[in-house]
Copies of this chain bind each other. A is one copy, B any other.
Amino acid sequence: MTGPADAVRVAVVGATGYAGAELARLLARHPKVDLTVVTSEQSAGKALGDVLPSFRRKLDLRLEAFDPARVAARCDVAFTALPSGKSGGGIAMLLDHGVRVVDIGADFRFRDPSEHARVYGPHPVPALLGEAVYGLTEHARAALRGARLVANPGCYPTAALLAIVPLAEAGLVESGGIIIDAKSGVTGAGRTVAAEYLFAEVDDNLRAYKIGEHRHAPEIEQQLRPFLGAEVAVTFVPHLLPIRRGILSTVYVRPRAGVDFGAFAKAFESRYGSERFVVLTGVRPPEIRDVVGTNDCAIGWALDAKSRIAVVVSVIDNLGKGAAGQAIQNLNAMMGWPEPWGLDHLAVVP
């Protein structure tokens, strides 16, 4: 794999997890990227295509153990896709060596070290939390341009925030009573080898989990606070779907008194009308499959007239816009490149 002469050299740290492999898949076809390093602790030394056969004859790279100095010698940018709590130290070293970092993990999403500590435990390099840019691309461009360190949003927060932020910004919704009923495919849990993710346990089944306890709820609240105030408290209930990829988020919000429902469409259109990766579907709710394999977020909305509760439905691919896709979109924004580079896919339907 060799890119053009002016290509940016890129590493994927943790390339055999689901999000890491998706990064490699996308970066292998990015017009200005030279993917030079892929790491895996478990499979170091093996050819990527021997571990993940879909890369065979497509991407000729050998997996190596993660060594920040060795990565820095050969890369300008690193994507880190490690389990939460595992990337802090390595990222600090990469930054020290002058490598810019987009972290797919959860280690730099909270601005406030005490909030991070409460949700994930003490942070190894709390000083960096203030610098990290929360990379919800459509809402973070100015900060992304010069960023050294980008915290890629969680998959659930991406789907929820893209649906709520335009309404909150425009002052259309109450800060109370926001309910996010989210449904995710199993790759949201990564390549976790646990009985609960076996085919025989997931197929033809559905379950809610971590009701009121999921770590993505405070992440969502942090991002809504600038618009809805300190007291914002979302009710977040995730469900595990028998599908591989995709999140559908059904968000229930209360329009503020006097708000006309037409204002919802206006808010979405003015915010996202010229966005390449947001598809507005109006009253026809979007389906998960139309975004799988892409970096798109599709959003539809309706008002339940009798109860005066507004329903916003958003869908993303949790490994696309919810992880690897948005990470590359953030790279493009950091570099000042056109955002669709490497991301201009149509969903494989059906």
Interface residues of A, Cβ cutoff 8 Å to B = 18, 21, 25, 28-29, 52-59, 176-179, 181, 183, 185-187, 191, 193-195, 197-209, 211-212, 233-237, 239, 241-246, 248, 250, 252, 276, 279, 281, 284-290, 292-293, 298, 302-307, 309, 311, 313, 315, 344, 346-350
Tell whether, in the assembled complex, residue B54 and residue A346 are in contact, meaning their CB atoms are under 8 Å apart: yes
Distance in angstroms from A256 CB to nearest chain B CB is: 15
Residues of B within 8 Å of A252, CB to CB, are 179, 181, 235, 252
Bound-state Cα–Cα, A243 to B308, Å: 31
Q: A252-B179, A309-B177 are in contact. Are A346 and B58 (CB under 8 A)?
A: yes
Provide the bound-state CA to CA distance between A193 and B181, in Å. 29
Report the bound CA distance from A232 to B225 in whole Å: 31
Chain B residues with Cβ below 8 Å from A59 are 346
- Residues of B near A29 (CB, < 8 A) are 344, 346
Q: CB-CB < 8 A to A245: which residues of B?
A: 204, 348, 350
A211-B304 CB under 8 A given contacts A198-B199, A235-B309: yes
CB atoms of B290 and A244 under 8 A apart: no
Instruction: Tell me whether B307 and A233 are in contact (CB under 8 A).
Output: yes
* Contact among B57, B200, B237 for A311, CB-based, below 8 A: B237
Q: Would you give 29 A-B contacts (Cβ < 8 Å), ordered by A?
A: A18-B200, A18-B350, A21-B349, A25-B346, A25-B349, A29-B344, A54-B346, A56-B281, A176-B307, A177-B309, A181-B250, A181-B252, A191-B198, A193-B194, A197-B199, A199-B199, A199-B202, A203-B350, A204-B204, A206-B246, A206-B288, A212-B305, A233-B304, A234-B307, A236-B304, A239-B248, A244-B350, A292-B348, A348-B348
A204 interface neighbour in B54, B198, B244, B307, Cβ under 8 Å: B244
Closest to A288 in B: B206
Partner of A279 from B57, B207, B281 at Cβ < 8 Å: B57
- Docked complex Cα distance between A200 and B186 (Å): 7
Q: Which of B199, B235, B242, B315 contacts A307 (CB 8 A)?
A: B235
Other 5 A-B pairs with CB < 8 A, given A183-B239, A206-B243, A252-B252: A53-B287, A203-B204, A204-B244, A244-B350, A293-B348
Chain B contacts of A239 at CB under 8 A? 183, 248, 250
Contact across chains for A186 and B198 when beta carbons are under 8 A apart: yes
Give the chain B neighbours of A193 by CB distance below 8 A. Answer: 193-195, 198
From known contacts A197-B200, A242-B199, infer whether A212 and B52 are also in contact, taking CB-CB under 8 Å.
Answer: no
Which chain B residues lie closer than 8 Å to A302 at the CB level? 211-212
